[in-house]
Chain A
């Protein structure tokens, strides 16, 4: 059985020590009142260094990263994380600086943040940026809070609703709800795009704005974006850009040029910083001048060649996070942009879109592709044919992909397509990799018809088989308990 670290506990085996104490030692009991002190044991496990290292090394063998192979998760942009970025972020000049150090002692850090803000403004077509939010959803919250502050400042208290498309990622309506808005859904038409007539019908003076991602969650570019922007703006609302899908347009088009008023970017998607197994990320937010006053504090200012923090912003929404943002993540994204440069940003997008269309074209031989036309960086396929003929679902296909050594794509999202598979290869995959992937998918399609058991009971070659997720949710066990007690 693969053990938990607590099951490897050996009392007395840990030999971590500090250097001898240079000062006279005083008993804690003499300094701190007894009722404030812990009198119970700390039940953390004791291991030797070699066993601890082996434990985590073994865990790493049971994980799968981008360095292991293709990771075609739609809307996640699992592109390669360059190692020079990892090196840069680990420089002591960046890791060993305290956020409250005197500004004159961290001019390098401030310069980096300032330059990053400027570069993101250029890529987004925006006038100002905050680097404070820690993740995409956090950036969404920041952006929507600014929209609320904007309307409140204008004395417009009627706008209590926020629109989102029915194809939106769950964070969009969740964010709107958390900031205190009611959500109004806008329908998608049969082409998978925002239904302009429905939008026109629903836009009124109770709507604060519309949250949109472009390309949308089907990987399709909202071709009528200018009309969409006009409807929202004419109605007195603001347009929010969810930057999760920026990889489909960056360097080719800019959200600021399409009519968006506020955007968030995901540095851990589009700008190559690693996903870390679920974080940390970074979700900077950019705004047009009309919203700049509401940005969280502080911003970074430049006077001559001196950089400083600017806190005097009376209309700011305040702070959404401690300190200034996920600096360690921002360093990596900054290195990425500097490395690829203006031309590289555009090329990354072009290759990403080419790779997605290449897969879409060739996979459509084996799987139903509901919107089989030029897509951007990702596209939707589903198991319609496999379901109808052999009762093989998207879930089964995803599980079988693991036996072929692939991480499955995003499944069962967006909700408007049944049995969806959202596939995004990114620009860092070679044609050879893509051809191998197509072959594997073709094989799985064949198996679904001729040997469905293989697919229905997949995966077979992973360290564990399909899990009982029902019991896990009915009777949750979310920590280890010492069964000897």
Chain B
């Protein structure tokens, strides 16, 4: 396919109008020995009909969650995506626009980000939020970085109940040596609050709590919040946005920084990306927020308008003094989250959260009847671990029975439930896990 609109005759005219003869004349500034002598060793281009065929074939090689009920969670959830959302995202004014650096021509994008920032604050109970970051993991890394820089300390206490990928990302980011990650083993599937509190000292910049944690279990937060604040450190919470419809907000817990992944707010699973990192803090850190922030102002005629503000924090101005190098946001995914929340409304989101948990409660009851046991006996939200000897083998069997099973732990399987899971699907899951192979 060709996306260059000028045919050969016009190309020739254009070249002549600027005093040149061939396309090669435009590249005389590149030394001849560096220029490619032969074409790239890539296949020749193909037409649209062939693309359709090839991509349909390629996509067809994947078993997808529309055909196979999915009990995988572990940081990415199979929630219902409303039709109106899908249609609105087809509007090319949204997806083919650039970052709104010229506000007069970009009020639509800027306002949608302002609304997104507001909604994140509403969900998390925090004062300010930025225009989004790449994903939950990198947002957490930036949160830890902010805590380290502002407390002038290095230690970040991390319970082992944080998502294992988040742990890996934090370790990678700590190559800067601005922070030291200290992993604290979990206790029965929850953060070991006693151990954490005991480790807090004058070198502790922050403690991170994930709610619900990676295993789906709910953490008690008051004690650790008091301990870290007494020590003038930061409480960083990593949360699930759907759960915030029914769970106490991090703002109410007293968190200083809140991060998480907004994938479950209308963004498709998409094999891991693009997702949505949200980042919110209490008001006193507004000028320390990484990434873009949209603010409200007036134009010269007194009309309300929106603009990228507090830009002097950002990399293009601070350069080597910047505390974060992030240049973009996940604008389209943030827009997706806003539209999702607008279409569901508060009651709709509460219904989704409640139903997800109902299906989990039902599943637990049926699993226990079938002789299986949960690994932990803690309060959980919509996700829990079921003990089994060989989770990998069990997942193979589940797939043969048309089910995508849960996340494999060493001795258990982490199962997640959403409002999309039907009773019949759960019954079939239980039957296979319980040992019945002919379902």
Contacts and interface: CB of A to CB of B under 8 A. Distances in A.
Q: Direct contact between A and B in the complex (CB less than 8 angstroms)?
A: yes
A21 B355 contact: yes
Contact of B346 (A41, A97, A274): A41
B111 to A, nearest CB: 6
Q: Rank and list the top 7 A-B pairs by shortest CB-CB distance, nearest first.
A: A93-B59, A323-B272, A341-B45, A108-B61, A65-B96, A99-B272, A276-B332
Nearest to B60: A93
A46 B326 CA distance: 33
B331 A277 contact: yes
A266 to B, nearest CB: 10
A472 B23 contact: no
B195 to A, nearest CB: 21
Given A97-B269, A427-B4, A277 B95 contact: yes
A134 B325 CA distance: 13
B106 A430 contact: no
B357 interface: yes
A191 B113 CA distance: 41
A57 interface: yes
Nearest to A95: B268
Interface stretch (B123-131, B151-159, B202-210, B225-233): B123-131
Contacts of B344: 14, 16
B249 interface: yes
Given A137-B327, A399-B104, A478-B128, A174 B300 contact: no
B180 to A, nearest CB: 13
Interface stretch (A70-78, A201-209, A230-238, A384-392): A70-78
B421 to A, nearest CB: 10
B325 A171 contact: yes
A174 B341 CA distance: 34
Interface string B109-125: 10111110111011100
Contacts of A2: 107, 111, 304
Contacts of B404: 98, 101, 105
B246 interface: yes
Given A277-B335, A472-B295, A328 B1 contact: no
Contacts of A134: 134-135, 138, 273-274, 330
Nearest to A118: B42
Contacts of B246: 28, 32, 37-38
Interface string A255-287: 001100000000000001011111111100000
B115 A480 contact: yes
A44 B345 contact: yes
Contact of A279 (B321, B332, B342): B332
Contacts of B401: none
B418 to A, nearest CB: 11
Contact of A480 (B118, B286, B355): B118
A101 B63 contact: yes
A86 B359 CA distance: 34
Contacts of A320: 138, 169, 172-173
B331 A32 contact: no
Contacts of A407: 98, 102, 105
Contact of A42 (B48, B137, B319, B350): B350
A162 B43 CA distance: 38
A321 B293 contact: no
10 contacts: A23-B361, A67-B92, A93-B59, A111-B58, A134-B273, A179-B175, A252-B30, A281-B328, A322-B75, A326-B274
Contacts of B335: 277
A278 B248 contact: no
A254 interface: yes
Sorting the interface of chain A by its residue count into under 10, 10 to 19, 20 to 34 or 35 or more gives 35 or more
B346 A178 contact: no
Interface stretch (B11-19, B183-191, B369-377, B429-437): B11-19
Interface residues of B, number: 204
Contacts of B118: 4, 6, 479-480
Nearest to A32: B379
Nearest to A112: B58
Given A67-B96, A145-B172, A478-B293, A408 B18 contact: no
Contact of B325 (A174, A221, A279, A335): A174
B29 interface: yes
Contacts of B165: 319, 322-323
B439 interface: no
A327 B272 contact: yes
A483 interface: no
B387 interface: no
Contacts of A1: 303-304
Contacts of B341: 44
A63 B108 contact: yes
A107 interface: yes
B347 A14 contact: yes
B3 A431 contact: no
B46 to A, nearest CB: 6
A278 B309 contact: no
Given A63-B97, A95-B268, A100-B74, 15 more contacts: A23-B359, A67-B92, A93-B64, A134-B135, A170-B319, A173-B319, A178-B322, A221-B30, A272-B3, A274-B332, A278-B331, A318-B171, A326-B274, A354-B11, A467-B298
A243 interface: no
Interface in A139-181: 140-141, 145, 148-149, 169-171, 173-180
Contacts of B117: 478-479
B390 interface: no
A26 interface: yes
A5 interface: yes
Nearest to B88: A56
A455 to B, nearest CB: 14
A149 B320 CA distance: 20
A270 to B, nearest CB: 13
Interface in A12-33: 14, 16-18, 21-26, 28, 31-33
Contacts of A469: 297, 307, 309
Q: Which of B218, B273, B309 has the most CB of A within 10 A?
A: B273
A25 to B, nearest CB: 6
A437 interface: no
B107 to A, nearest CB: 4
A223 interface: yes
Nearest to B70: A98
Given A59-B112, A348-B3, A467 B307 contact: yes
Interface string B286-297: 100000111111
A275 B98 contact: yes
Contact of A60 (B76, B93, B362): B93
A454 interface: no
Interface in A50-105: 52-53, 55-68, 71, 73, 76, 78-82, 84, 86-88, 91-102, 104-105
Given A18-B351, A478-B309, A40 B252 contact: yes
A289 interface: no
A99 B269 contact: yes
Contacts of B172: 145, 296, 317-320
Contacts of A40: 249, 252
A195 interface: no
Contacts of A451: none
A414 to B, nearest CB: 11
Contacts of A53: 84, 87-88
A460 B324 CA distance: 36
Contact of A4 (B5, B114, B129, B163): B114
Interface in B333-364: 333, 335, 338-339, 341-352, 354-355, 357-359, 361-362
A79 B396 CA distance: 44
A447 interface: no
Contact of A325 (B43, B261, B273, B292): B273
B1 A340 contact: yes
A463 interface: yes
B65 A96 contact: yes
A60 B89 CA distance: 10
